[in-house]
Chain A
């Protein structure tokens, strides 16, 4: 958009200037608009959250984070997210494996279904889980208002991450290596451990890190099924929400800042992993 308007005033590129065809005016205007848009919507508001969290000193920040209910919410969130990420690591890889290496009728439908948690609104995800695994469960399984229920909601929303990062790597994986290993006398388990797994590990860990980041920030799907019981099932995002409702924005900002830092650390680790993976590849 901004690029277009700038084009009228920009001088036509000379034939020799191929390397940097559109520098200067157009770039500056486009960059300025993009940065302004990002600043007004994302950067300044987020910076204000961090600023607000330390508004009344670091002592207050620490107190807000370690109030019993906030601390319980944070530890539950991080603990549950770690468990959920690990379950995803195993089951996500397994599902990716089945989708790539197995053949059965209806596989395309299963493959499409994997993305359902991305497309389904989180509040609806929470509601459908509560309908099947809540007090009126036709299966007789009631996980409502329990930590297991929170875990279930997190498993639902994080399902696609590991599957979708491992799947393409598995498709690209050269079968020759496996056949070579097998013909040299490796058992299927050995082949998997020595040949396939090392190739998949970077993708598996990327997916796990993404799932973890998503899980710690999850709100909508846990609202209904967790019942929002402080000290028991209240996750950090729900705790922040009730603090905002209670007009304690400083406390909410402190917990938000902790969540932001944990997410950024996870994403930084992911970035390092990806570089490690690409260096190996």
Chain B
């Protein structure tokens, strides 16, 4: 093989078609005689590195592929598949029954309320902050960006603790709000705040790059033509960032539906009161009700898969 390589500049071509290769082999002595010895040696080295006989490189490629897929299979695919299989192992009926129990339905409802509030707040904030970061100039812009990214680095449990320290019953602010009849911690507002915290950067970071790319020429033109700023936003900016915004909202929604740690701390984990779907999974599992825990997990996993497919569709292509 290496011998044939010395002759032919295009070893790749030679190797792909067998008849050619054998031809080159037979013609080898002739052509080698025509070129000088030094050239031939150089060519040998060169061609060996480009395609060392086709064998070793192919094998190493195969090994890498097997390692990568094997790792993903045992870490991701098999565990998730097992849960789905256990959930539906006895048919659809136990799954539906487990998810339509009063506790499960209540958990669904709490999850949905909290997630929708959190997504609404973060979407409004996200678009506003992205416009601010891209379209406006002010001192401390980098600092604002860093603060927006801060939640990524904070443990969900610390998020919960932080909110308790400000809004808990025994803090000045929490006490004052409670005297007005507004309970934050161990109640829905606290769970919304916790969810907003953990999902805060997602919409901003999805919208910012697209806003930067769009530029503001069209907005300027609309302005010049007499459009109000609100009209400009509605007719020019919003359509421009539509898919990026949708991408951010989907990410934010997925994060909100799936948040566990921060909500576990601020909700007080009161069954049938502040229990979200993720808290339901944990509580059912700890109480040896595996079917319900698995069913709720499967429901959340299905949501995750839907999210993956949606983000795949919406992901900005650059």
| A interface residues, Cβ below 8 angstroms from B | 1-4, 6-8, 10, 12-13, 15, 18, 20-23, 26-27, 30-31, 33-35, 37-38, 41-46, 48-49, 52, 91, 94-95, 97-99, 102, 104, 110, 112-124, 127-129, 131-133, 138, 152, 155-156, 159, 179, 182-188, 213, 216-220, 223-224, 236-238, 240-241, 244, 249, 252-253, 256, 259-260, 263-264, 266-267
Cβ-defined contact, B80 with A128, below 8 A: yes
20 examples of A-B residue contacts, CB within 8 angstroms: A1-B127, A3-B128, A8-B230, A26-B136, A27-B137, A31-B144, A34-B128, A41-B193, A42-B197, A43-B150, A112-B309, A119-B258, A127-B297, A128-B79, A188-B49, A188-B60, A219-B261, A244-B164, A244-B265, A259-B155
Cβ-defined contact, B75 with A156, below 8 A: yes
A244 vs B193: C-alpha distance when bound (angstroms): 18
Of the candidate stretches B19-27, B29-37, B65-73, B93-101, the one touching chain A is: B65-73
Cβ-defined contact, A213 with B153, below 8 A: yes
Q: Please indicate the chain A residues that have their CB under 8 angstroms from the CB of B50 in the complex.
A: 179, 182-183
Cβ-defined contact, B67 with A110, below 8 A: no
Q: Please indicate the chain B residues that have their CB under 8 angstroms from the CB of A102 in the complex.
A: 61, 64-65
Cβ-defined contact, B144 with A23, below 8 A: no
Whether, in the assembled complex, B312 has its beta carbon less than 8 Å from a beta carbon of chain A, the answer is yes
Cβ-defined contact, B79 with A131, below 8 A: yes
Known: A18-B220, A128-B80. A249 touches B86 (CB 8 A): no
Whether, in the assembled complex, B300 has its beta carbon less than 8 Å from a beta carbon of chain A, the answer is yes
Of B57, B60, B293, the most chain A CB neighbours within 10 A belong to B293
B152 CB to nearest A CB, Å = 8
A209 vs B40: C-alpha distance when bound (angstroms): 49
Q: Please indicate the chain A residues that have their CB under 8 angstroms from the CB of B312 in the complex.
A: 112
A37 vs B158: C-alpha distance when bound (angstroms): 19
Provide the main secondary structure of the chain B interface. Answer: helix
Of the candidates B46, B67, B230, B293, the one whose C-beta lies within 8 Å of that of A127 is B293
Q: Please indicate the chain B residues that have their CB under 8 angstroms from the CB of A253 in the complex.
A: 161, 165
Known: A48-B165, A256-B161. A185 touches B261 (CB 8 A): no
Known: A27-B138, A124-B258. A156 touches B304 (CB 8 A): no
Cβ-defined contact, A116 with B308, below 8 A: yes
Of the candidates A10, A35, A52, A185, the one whose C-beta lies within 8 Å of that of B45 is A185
Known: A30-B128, A45-B162. A185 touches B64 (CB 8 A): no
Cβ-defined contact, A34 with B144, below 8 A: yes
Cβ-defined contact, B164 with A119, below 8 A: no
Chain B residue with minimal CB distance to A217?
Answer: B155
**What does the 1/0 interface line of B152-183 toward A look like (CB < 8 Å)?**
11111111111111110001000000000000
Q: Please indicate the chain B residues that have their CB under 8 angstroms from the CB of A34 in the complex.
A: 125, 128-129, 132, 144
Closest 6 A-B residue pairs measured CB to CB?
A: A7-B229, A121-B258, A217-B155, A45-B162, A219-B261, A119-B304
Interface size on B, residues (CB 8 A): 93
A241 vs B72: C-alpha distance when bound (angstroms): 31
Cβ-defined contact, A240 with B155, below 8 A: yes
Cβ-defined contact, B261 with A237, below 8 A: yes
Cβ-defined contact, B166 with A1, below 8 A: no
Of the candidates B68, B193, B257, the one whose C-beta lies within 8 Å of that of A94 is B68
B292 CB to nearest A CB, Å = 12
Cβ-defined contact, B162 with A117, below 8 A: no
Whether, in the assembled complex, B214 has its beta carbon less than 8 Å from a beta carbon of chain A, the answer is no
B159 CB to nearest A CB, Å = 8
Cβ-defined contact, A183 with B46, below 8 A: yes
Cβ-defined contact, A132 with B82, below 8 A: yes
A49 vs B67: C-alpha distance when bound (angstroms): 43
Q: Please indicate the chain B residues that have their CB under 8 angstroms from the CB of A35 in the complex.
A: 144
Whether, in the assembled complex, B196 has its beta carbon less than 8 Å from a beta carbon of chain A, the answer is yes
Of B154, B160, B300, the most chain A CB neighbours within 10 A belong to B154
Known: A129-B79, A213-B153, A240-B158. A120 touches B197 (CB 8 A): no
A19 CB to nearest B CB, Å = 9
Whether, in the assembled complex, B54 has its beta carbon less than 8 Å from a beta carbon of chain A, the answer is no
Chain A residue with minimal CB distance to B52?
Answer: A188
Q: Please indicate the chain A residues that have their CB under 8 angstroms from the CB of B75 in the complex.
A: 152, 155-156, 159
Q: Please indicate the chain B residues that have their CB under 8 angstroms from the CB of A133 in the complex.
A: 79
Whether, in the assembled complex, B76 has its beta carbon less than 8 Å from a beta carbon of chain A, the answer is yes
Of A91, A114, A241, the most chain B CB neighbours within 10 A belong to A241
Of A121, A220, A259, A260, the most chain B CB neighbours within 10 A belong to A121
Known: A18-B220, A155-B75, A217-B153. A131 touches B162 (CB 8 A): no
Of the candidates B82, B193, B300, the one whose C-beta lies within 8 Å of that of A131 is B82
**What does the 1/0 interface line of B76-105 toward A look like (CB < 8 Å)?**
111110110010000000000000000000
Cβ-defined contact, A22 with B162, below 8 A: no
Q: Please indicate the chain A residues that have their CB under 8 angstroms from the CB of B216 in the complex.
A: 21
Cβ-defined contact, B128 with A1, below 8 A: yes
Of the candidates B45, B132, B155, B264, the one whose C-beta lies within 8 Å of that of A218 is B155
8 A Cβ contacts from B131-159 to A: 131-132, 135-138, 144, 147-148, 150-159
Cβ-defined contact, B297 with A124, below 8 A: yes
Whether, in the assembled complex, B278 has its beta carbon less than 8 Å from a beta carbon of chain A, the answer is yes
A240 vs B262: C-alpha distance when bound (angstroms): 12
Cβ-defined contact, A4 with B300, below 8 A: no
Cβ-defined contact, B132 with A94, below 8 A: no
A117 vs B71: C-alpha distance when bound (angstroms): 14
Q: Please indicate the chain A residues that have their CB under 8 angstroms from the CB of B72 in the complex.
A: 95, 110, 113-114, 159
